């Protein structure tokens, strides 16, 4: 096991704030595939709930099989594992249908959170971080659409 690099730590700081997890002590590390809790994952989280502490372990990049499962970006894996901190108290037993559904939901939420961040970064759009920026406009538009749907007799929920 070895400590994760500076780039992952910077992402951790950013996403802990975005996900409101600043009160957690989260450590990052790299492990060999044979040391991993689950050999079919790129990363996993070990949680100690009473102390609000966790360790997120990533499989060493050189040990990832490019012909294996589709690879996520490390940032998406990090967000996925951080989201587990929110759902941990409700997590079902591993390898059950409920666990699979929870993993699919966490995966979809992580992808939905990370992808827009990368698009904004690539386009240089920083308005979402400013009060009244693009996110506020999108939210206002969504509220208008919802009211319009209700007025037409269609419930969008």
pLDDT digits (tens, 9 = 90+) for 13-72: 999 999 999 999 999 998 888 787 776 778 889 999 999 999 999 888 777 766 665 567
Contacts of residue 48, Cβ cutoff 8 Å, sequence gap at least 6: 54
Q: What is the mean pLDDT of the chain?
A: 77
Burial 67-81 (b: 16+ CB within 10 A, else e): eeeeebebbbbbbbb
Given a cut of 70, whether residue 96 has pLDDT beyond it is yes
Please name the fold of domain 2-125: Zincin-like (3.30.2010)
* pTM reported for the whole predicted model: 0.71
pLDDT-derived band at 141 (thresholds 50, 70, 90) equals very low
CA distance 37 to 123: 38
């Amino acid at each position: 096991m070895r400590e994760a690099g500076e780039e992952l730590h910077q992402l951790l700081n950013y996403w802990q704030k975005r996900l409101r997890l600043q009160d957690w002590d989260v450590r990052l590390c790299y492990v060999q595939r044979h040391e991993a809790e689950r050999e079919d994952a790129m990363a996993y989280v070990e949680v100690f709930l009473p102390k609000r502490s966790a360790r997120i372990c990533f499989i060493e990049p050189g040990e990832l099989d490019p012909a294996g499962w589709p690879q996520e970006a490390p940032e998406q894996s990090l967000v996925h594992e951080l989201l587990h901190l929110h759902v941990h108290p409700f997590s079902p037993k591993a390898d059950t249908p409920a666990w699979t559904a929870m993993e699919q939901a966490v995966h979809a939420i992580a992808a939905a959170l990370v992808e827009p961040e990368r698009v904004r970064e690539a386009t240089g759009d920083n308005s979402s971080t400013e009060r009244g920026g693009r996110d506020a406009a999108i939210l206002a538009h969504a509220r208008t659409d919802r009211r319009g749907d209700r007025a037409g007799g269609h419930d969008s929920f």
